[in-house]
Amino acid sequence: MKKNIAEIFSKTNHKISKLKLIRNGETSYTYFGYLNNKKSIFKILKKNINKNLENKFYCQRISSQIVKENLFPKIIYSDNKNSLYVYEYFNGKELKTLNKELIIKTGSKLKKLHSLDLDKNLKSFDSQINLYIKEIKKNKNNKILIEVIKLFTKLRDKNFDNVVSHNDLNNSNILFNNYEVRFIDYDYLSINDRFCDLARICSSYKFSKTDIEVFLESYGLDCSKNNLDILKSWQLLNSYTDVIWFYFIKESDLNFFSQNQMVAKAKKLIKQQKQ
């Protein structure tokens, strides 16, 4: 793939150098390198993958809004034909824990994402999760599937508060440079309930009760019993979603993880969350 990127740029007036693979993901390869002597991130989308995994972020009007709000680094090169995109390098790092000020910054940043205009071309979370379940059902009669469908239906019947949702905001997809915050890897961007992202962040950083209160308030929500109950339900639903996702990529022969180990870890978390 590195060779392919070099070949693509050999036909342009741009100079690239020092490409280094930093992530081989489900939908794309990500490289660090230099474009015209500037530090950059190169992302080339995988072709001929299962249609359920198609990455639509770069083809959407929504990407320009996300960049404008400083939610994602500036895209400096696009090649739709070759599914190659380059964006400015953000000198940030992942953090395992957040202090109060960073929690507030993250909450207010997430509010910006969720305040963007809904893009009718974006997939809905409903369609994504239903496709995963349908694919898995062909070969499995699994208790997890029954439980996730029951919980998902219960939450959906209460009416989703739909926003532009990242859907994968774990701590590896949130970068910090002092108190600047950027969200990366929008591969699973969709229309979804706002509590999906809120719950992902709370779970990923293992927020305490006090942290959750600070986080929700910085986002603009009160810590009512209803909101806390919804948050808890979405934390559980996210864990269920992780399990069926691991099943899905196994059924699709996309062996990016040790699925058995990841499924076991997610099931353990579900058991803890249900207590």
pLDDT tens digits for range 7-64: 889 889 999 999 999 988 777 889 999 999 999 999 988 775 555 555 567 766 788 8
**Please, what sign has the CA dihedral across residues 203, 151, 262, 20?**
negative
Higher pLDDT, 132 or 84: 84
Q: What residue type is 31 in one-letter code?
A: Y
pLDDT of residue 260: 64
| Cα Rg of the chain (Å, integer) | 19
- Going from N- to C-terminal start, the domains of the chain cover 2-88, 100-274
Would 2-88 and 100-274 be classified into the same CATH topology?
no
Two tokens, residue 244:
């069926």
Kindly report the average pLDDT of the chain as a whole number: 86
pTM of the predicted protein model? 0.88
- Measured from the Cβ of residue 4, the count of other Cβ atoms closer than 10 Å reads 12
pLDDT of residue 142: 73
Residue 125: band (very low, low, confident or very high) from pLDDT cuts 50, 70, 90 = confident
Residue 148: band (very low, low, confident or very high) from pLDDT cuts 50, 70, 90 = confident
pLDDT of residue 261: 67
If you classify domain 100-274 with CATH, what class do you get? alpha beta
Two tokens, residue 176:
């910090």
Residue 202: band (very low, low, confident or very high) from pLDDT cuts 50, 70, 90 = very high
Task: Write the CB contacts of 16 (distance below 8 Å, at least 6 apart in sequence).
Answer: 5, 6, 9, 33, 34, 35, 42
pLDDT of residue 238: 93
Query: 2-88 adopts what CATH topology?
Result: Phosphorylase Kinase; domain 1 (3.30.200)
